[in-house]
Amino acid sequence: MIFILSLIISSMTNILKTEAIVLNKINYGDTSKIVNLFTKDTGKVSVIIKGGRDSKSKIGKITDPLNYLQIIYYQKDTREIQLLTEADLLLFFHNIKSDIDRLSYASATLELFIKLIPENEYNLRLFKGLLKILGLLDDVTTSPIDLFCSFLMFFIKEIGYEIQLENCVICGEATLNNLSLGYNYEKGIFCNSCKKNNFFETNIQTELFNYLISLKTNKKNYETNTKVKEDAIKFMEKFLKYHFTDFKELQSLRLK
């Protein structure tokens, strides 16, 4: 529910108070900043911080990517960029920012939202999921790659797609975990025999298949090597690339 602080100011302007995670920011004009936020109550929103580049601007200082804020902004449906008027820092993920590996997975997570989530689409599960993965990535005892792989599987499902792995989409074979498999991004998984006569984009080896299943069924502590986990990320990136023509790859993971 959107918490409306005051009555409608003019016919189309609301003052909204919500929580937000900063996705990215750019300088705008000589003094302002434009910030992309993923909010709890209104989904992805772009806001302008007037005077946000001034060193005295408190809001300008705390609106850095990854920060978790409580914000107040003016929402006008007729404009694409809203006006941010107040912000308080709720959480600052210090450990992520001081560890290059954690930072690259956290940045890749934000990149998913920047590239694949449309503006103004409310999704509380995604908001909670984002806050949760950032909290876990900030915990130095966790494994960043495992967290990111689970999140990526969750994210794909939340945006309305599914990586089909349960049975061969051609013949229905359900015992797939000891076969060399194929994947067609449109249709799903092919067993070893159906692979021979049907078009598929990529091979799925047994270890990768088992790892993807563990991600899909949320099996904790599944043991596999880093190569398999990296292959899982590449596979899911290709899946997204197939379904979103503008999406190419997660650049944050190429900068490591």
Binding site for Zn ion (CB under 5 A): 168, 170-171, 173, 191, 194
For Zn ion, the closer of residues 105 and 185 by Cβ is 185
Q: Which is nearer to Zn ion, 66 or 189 (CB)?
A: 189
Tell the smallest beta-carbon distance from residue 176 to Zn ion (Å): 9
Considering the complex, state which of residue 189 and residue 212 has its C-beta at the smaller distance from Zn ion: 189
Is 149 or 191 the residue whose CB approaches Zn ion more closely? Answer: 191
Spatial separation of the C-alpha atoms in residues 117 and 44, rounded to whole Å? 7
Least Å from the CB of residue 232 to Zn ion: 22
**Helix segments in the chain, DSSP class H:** 58-62, 94-97, 100-116, 124-137, 144-158, 194-197, 206-216, 226-243
Return the number of the residue (153 or 191) whose C-beta is nearest Zn ion: 191
**Minimum distance between the CB of residue 190 and Zn ion, rounded to whole angstroms?**
6
- Are 183 and 204 within 8 A, CB to CB? yes
Shortest distance, CB of residue 236 to Zn ion, whole angstroms?
A: 22
254: β partners: none
Q: How many CA atoms lie within 13 A of 248 on its CB side?
A: 4
